[in-house]
């Protein structure tokens, strides 16, 4: 199943909680902000400390991606590539 690589937040496979998380993380990725609508969506499923923890977690993943990509760390050979991912480093 490749839903995490190809399905958007509105895909019917996602629960309301998953949809809210995906929307917020997509916004963070695109703008480094969370809109009022996305914040409200998160708060329907998470309390405020959990939302803040999500922001920190997303930031850590972003930081790890910067370091791994900047240092050109090769993907693990045993790991499956996401659909459409070029594993050659080109």
Q: Give pLDDT < 70 ranges for the chain.
A: 1-6, 84-90
pTM of the model: 0.75
Q: What is the pLDDT of residue 72?
A: 95
Q: CB under 8 Å to 83, separation ≥6 — which residues?
A: 2, 5, 6
Q: How many other CB atoms are there within 10 angstroms of residue 70's CB atom? A: 8
Q: What is the pLDDT of residue 8?
A: 84
Q: What is the pLDDT of residue 86?
A: 64
CA distance 64 to 25: 16
Are the C-beta atoms of residues 79 and 88 closer than 8 Å to each other? no
């Amino acid at each position: 199943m490749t839903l995490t690589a190809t399905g958007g937040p509105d895909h019917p496979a996602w629960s309301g909680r998953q949809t809210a998380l995906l929307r917020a993380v997509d916004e963070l990725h695109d703008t480094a902000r969370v809109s009022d609508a996305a914040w409200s969506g998160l708060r329907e499923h998470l309390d405020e400390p959990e939302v803040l923890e999500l922001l920190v977690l997303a930031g850590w993943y972003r930081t790890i991606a910067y370091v791994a990509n900047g240092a050109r760390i090769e993907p693990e050979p045993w790991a499956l590539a996401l659909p459409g991912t070029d594993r050659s480093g080109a």
